[in-house]
Amino acid sequence: MLKKPVGAAFEGWGVGEAHLQATITGELEPESQFVGVCFDYERAASEDPTSVSDDILDRLKKNLSPPQIIQLACVVGFWKFNNADHVSLHIRVESPLLQDTGYVNL
């Protein structure tokens, strides 16, 4: 989890909610080409895997090693699989986590 620590029980890398949401949605300029292309790939592959453009693939090849590209694709694929399972089984997002889904059209 990237979120900023809150109270005694937390996990994260110190990223605030507004920064996280702006990064996920693409409203915030990425801090590097590496981060930018990773999020561009994630958004395209999550929305529609056939929409990953040649431009995104070329930028991945320029900024990531082949193992990093595979790892990124596997992480995105895992979460798509996980989300599909939850949706198909009618498992709702737990109430405390709903605020973390602001970038997803639920």
What is the per-residue pLDDT across 41-69, written as a single tens digit (0 to 9) for each? 988 998 888 989 999 999 999 999 999 99
pLDDT band, residue 1 (cuts 50/70/90): very low
Mean pLDDT over each residue of the chain, to the nearest integer: 78
Contact call for residues 15 and 3 (beta carbons, < 8 A): yes
What integer pLDDT is reported at residue 21 of this predicted model? 77
For the chain, which residues make up each domain, given as ranges?
31-98
Cβ contact 56:37 at 8 Å: yes
In the predicted structure, residue 100 carries a pLDDT above the cut 80: no
Please check the confidence at residue 19 and state whether its pLDDT lies above 70. yes
pTM above 0.75, yes or no: no
Under the banding of pLDDT at 50, 70 and 90, the label for residue 106 is very low
> Beta-carbon neighbour count of residue 52 at 10 Å?
19
Give the side-chain half-sphere CA count within 13 A for 85: 6
